[in-house]
Structure 1
């Protein structure tokens, strides 16, 4: 009799529905998930990587064209980018939730189709920690902050590897030719600060400002970080031969795969810090 009662209680426990979760996103929109999401569309690489780092890669049913890590996501339907998101295909995938950037232009259209949408766009360390918690709620993962602790430990390890000669060095990080820079208030700028360097782009210019090339010449950075596509012809830009970093060949050129790691505010930020630290060791010692 007692054994039968215990079996009944266990069955009730396992049959109990999961509690609904209210998610407040970065647009201030409130979305209610009746249960942890099992079918997820992610339209931002950093969010895709976060879902996978939290052990939920198998729940992804579609991603944006730039999501390429881990390798398993390359087999998923590619749903376009910011300007050409395939809304019809997203709807056909019947996701429980769509994760996308605040800057995405399809939020309202997706909501009009009855889809649950969570807009998240981490731009700083604090944002990354917060977004980890939100995605943990979406997935029903109780200790999402374990990933943040791993990031913090990895960044600290990278900082400890930077030689004294590199500390205080003023850096210019070109995110995209055009020219767009990583400012002090960006997550890239925060990583540089944690590594003990300076940044020629002050916080008041914003996280990723478009700047005049002459600004860089006047600021005269001691080291330049740039992606492979933006490196061609950089020393030949008007007046740039006067920049200390150019004269002393203190220019770190990152491969495309390294650029992906460096530009995504998510689980691989510790790896990004290691890439920057290696640059500082090689060029500033």
Structure 2
């Protein structure tokens, strides 16, 4: 960051932020293992990803959110909050001018240089990266602790925890269905077994045909999909109602998934954000695999 810009941000920070007491009142450990302590529950919170903002509302802290980023569209109230750029490029001056007393960062989604600048300026940063279902509940509970909204947040965390356990009990032992999940179109991308969506596939009794690949979100080719020959293909697409990504696979009549009509759309926000709505998305995902089983 250029020296003059950094000096300007520092001056702005000193002008708008109050002096914090030395002793912390609430503490929580983030997903990087860093303990974040605040003198009192946060009252002005910035969510630097759509998922982070949604998790804050799930934790009961929606009224305390003063900054979000582009595509923060759920719940609808999030769309009325000031935007500070996108998760990949933050408007730091605007963020600081909103005087947050807690910033929720996305470990692998936000630019680390900008997150470090935020830390250097003295703002508390709590980094999140849920990698399994329990992590989603845990993040909600920790955010509720930092926001002082434990009653609502912990209840929502338990609702999600119980719901996912019920889905696992219902579907995880069903006859396996070989599945390809398309997370992106160009370049063509999927998920491995360590990805949260990969764990949804397993929960529903699916077999991820690309699950053993080393990258969390690997790039693949059409030829690789043809060779794997999944029995079902599921895709999120660009937007909540856009099924266009599935059109690609209609051109491959030799694919088992195409031959029997197992090309399924799942609204991306229900499955690609690590939030409680993943319960709804997982139930829909499991229902699609049940349809595939019924077509055998």
For Structure 1 versus Structure 2, the TM-score category normalised by the shorter chain is 0.7 to 0.9
Corresponding residue of 1:5: none
What is the CA-CA distance between 1:209 and the residue it aligns to?
Answer: 1.6
Contact 2:201/2:207, CA 8 A, preserved across alignment:
yes
Displacement of 1:160 in angstroms is 6.5
The corresponding residue for 2:260 is: 248
- Name which of 21, 45, 49 aligns with 2:54: 49
Instruction: Check whether the contact 1:23–1:33 (CA below 8 A) recurs between aligned residues.
Output: no
The answer as to whether partners of 2:133 and 2:164 remain within 8 angstroms in 1 is no
Q: How many residues align?
A: 262
Larger radius of gyration: 1
8 Å contact 1:128–1:266 — kept in the other structure? yes
Rounded Cα–Cα distance in structure 2 between residues aligned with 1:123 and 1:45 = 16
- 1:164-223 superposed Cα distances (whole Å, 9 cap, x missing partner): 9x7311111001111111222111111121111211122452332222322211111000
Q: Which moved more, 1:196-205 or 1:82-91?
A: 196-205
Paired residues of 2:141 and 2:157 also in contact (CA < 8 A)? no
Q: 1:128 maps to what in 2? A: 136
Q: Does 1:187 align with 2:157?
A: no
In structure 2, C-alpha distance between the alignment counterparts of 1:49 and 1:158, rounded to whole Å: 22
2:246 maps to 1:231: yes
Contact 1:174/1:225 (8 A) holds in 2? yes
Any residues of structure 2 matched to 1:77-226 within 5 Å, and which? 77-103=82-108, 104-105=110-111, 106-142=114-150, 144-158=153-167, 167-177=175-185, 178-226=187-235
TM-score (norm: length of structure 1): 0.83
- Answer yes or no: is the 8 Å Cα contact 1:250–1:284 preserved in 2: no
Which secondary structure does the structure 1 equivalent of 2:86 belong to?
coil
* Partner Cα distance (2:33, 2:66) in 1: 25
What is the alpha-carbon distance in structure 1 between the residues aligned to residue 212 and residue 106 of structure 2? 22
How far apart in 1 are the matches of 2:172 and 2:213?
A: 29
1:6-85 superposed matches below 5 A: 20-85=25-90
1:234-284 alpha-carbon deviations (Å, 9 max, x no partner): 333xxx432110121210023xxx211111111112111122123224444
Shift in alpha-carbon separation, 1:31–1:208, aligned structure 2, 3 A: same
On the 8 A contact 1:231/1:253 being kept in 2, the answer is yes
Normalised to the residue count of structure 2, the TM-score between the two structures is 0.80
How far off its partner does 1:99 sit? 0.4
Question: Which runs of 4 or more aligned residues in structure 1 lie more than 6 Å from their structure 2 counterparts after TM superposition?
Answer: none
Q: Is the 8 A contact 2:234 2:263 kept in 1?
A: yes
CA RMSD of aligned residues (A): 2.5
Q: Does 1:268 align with 2:277?
A: yes
Contact 1:152/1:270 (8 A) holds in 2: no
Deviations 1:149-175 (A, max 9, x none): 3123323444577699x7311111001
Measured at CA, do residues 110 and 163 of structure 1 come closer, stay the same or move farther in structure 2, by a change above 3 Å?
closer
